[in-house]
Structure 1
Amino acid sequence: MTRYLAPLLIGLVGAAILVALGIWQVQRLAWKEGIIAEIDSTIAADPQPLPQVVAPAEQRYQPVALQGEIGEGALYVLVSVKRQGAGWRVISPFTTEDGRRVLLDRGFVPAAEKDIALRTGPAEVTGNLHWPDDRNSATPANAPEDNTWYARDIGPISDALQTEPLLVVARKIDPADERLQPIPVDSAGIPNDHLQYAITWFSLAAVWIAMTLTWIRKQAQGKD
């Protein structure tokens, strides 16, 4: 029996570690789902006025309602939209009725329509405050001279359009510019891979147990 002790001990310890990792990922899944549910609740809440003091950590996804005027000029951020392909996010200055000037993400136009004339003037906007994290190590540098941006870098964009560093991503603009398709803030882009990780760890535990049983069987048959 002593010859079975080593494979049995290694099998039980290894399987226990892998199962524990799977359980941890299940716990992480519940935690992440709670965060996403809270974000969805925030996004869908009643619109509020623009905050007077900007606090990104507290105000991310906050719904807002604005009345004012869409100004001249726009910046174009290269994006890809599912089932539509490459195109541009259009960001314009928006001046509120009380004189504040903020960034307005108006939505998407296909790549070939970058030079279309855009509607300006009075508008009512509902949307969400956002501080997007578009940039990673592979994101090219913006090319403001060509009005080609690769990330919604709020600081440089607000400097270029002479606005507050405050971005409202439109959910609805009235009157609408039919050439623009709003891309509202949602939680779809927030990664939540914990279920796949849990399945991977549990699968590895099953494989580990199967390998241990094979090892023990070979020991019983007198094989190395």
Structure 2
Amino acid sequence: MPVISLGLGLWQIQRLKWKTDLIAEYESRLVLPPLPMPPLVNPDVVKDFQYRRVTATGKFRHDLEMLIGPRSLEGEDGYQVVTPLERENGSTLLVNRGWIAKKVAEKTKRIEGLPLDEVTVEGILRIPAGRHTFSPDNEVDKGLFFYVDLDQMAAKSGAQPVMIEQFFEYADSDVLASWQELVRLGIPIGRDMKVNIRNNHGQYIVTWFGVSLVTAIMLVVLRRRPASEGMLKQRHMRRYM
């Protein structure tokens, strides 16, 4: 156990460096000027543009809206809203507009959050996390998704299997009041302009090295402990058998 946990600790050091370098690379992309999305996007190259700021102009197809959930925010249940953005060139992209509360999931309850005019969306490109082990099947016909499946969403909406995660900026200096008003109106609360990647490898390093140290001490103690009377009798019997 001391050797195995020591090896895991050393491996986590390598993982920490990899994750730190990755986050630094993504953060450097966020400060670059946004790129206009081309008419057609090759989904295979999105991985090379993760966390790159992009813009796209068009009209939202609210009739083809899809919900991802349940998702909670500040302790309140809700959904992520994905709406196809139809552009003048005829192409359509998927836009994750952000979070809405469950109580305004019906579109009739959030008219203010359904813009009909042409809009320019700014956000980032990112490959969404896939299906978890216990995720149920998506109810594609109902437009309800428990996990993001770009191929299913693209097939349902006629969009390219590429998603922009839209940024959101509070217009009010009072963030709490602004947030409550957005929730009431059903205006989606988009993502922050930052890299949201967990980096727990430092904790894992401390844990595995700690396990290695503790088990090494236990091993030394056990090796130095005097043999019990029963063990001495067994050794004596083996010697004369």
| Contact persistence 2:101–2:186 (CA under 8 A) | no
Q: CA deviation at 1:222?
A: 10
Deviation string 1:26-56 (CA, Å, 9 cap, x unpaired) is 2321221111221222234321011444122
1:48: which partner in 2?
35
Deviation string 1:76-128 (CA, Å, 9 cap, x unpaired) is 11142342332111111212343321111111111111113322221121111
SS of equivalent to 1:121: coil
* From 9, 31, 35, the counterpart of 2:22: 35
Count of residue correspondences? 209
Higher helix share: 2
Q: Does 1:26 align with 2:13?
A: yes
Q: Does 1:194 align with 2:212?
A: no
1:163: which partner in 2?
159
Deviation string 1:57-83 (CA, Å, 9 cap, x unpaired) is 223332111222223321111142342
Q: How many percent of aligned residue pairs carry the same amino acid?
A: 24
| Contact persistence 1:125–1:172 (CA under 8 A) | no
Q: Does 1:87 align with 2:78?
A: yes
Q: CA deviation at 1:145?
A: 3.1
What amino acid sits opposite 1:131 in the alignment? I
The answer for unaligned runs of 5 or more in structure 2 is 172-181, 232-241
**Against the structure 1 CA distance between its residues 98 and 17, is the aligned structure 2 distance closer, same or farther, given a 3 Å change threshold?**
same
Alignment RMSD: 2.9
| Contact persistence 1:87–1:109 (CA under 8 A) | yes
What amino acid sits opposite 1:103 in the alignment? L
Deviation string 1:174-199 (CA, Å, 9 cap, x unpaired) is x99862211357532x3433222211
The answer for unaligned runs of 5 or more in structure 1 is 1-13
> Following the alignment from structure 1 to structure 2, what is the Cα–Cα distance between the partners of residues 184 and 161?
26
TM-score (norm 1): 0.78
* From 145, 162, 168, the counterpart of 2:141: 145
Deviation string 1:128-183 (CA, Å, 9 cap, x unpaired) is 1222124122111111333321122111112222222221111149x998622113
* From 43, 59, 69, the counterpart of 1:69: 59
1:181: which partner in 2?
189
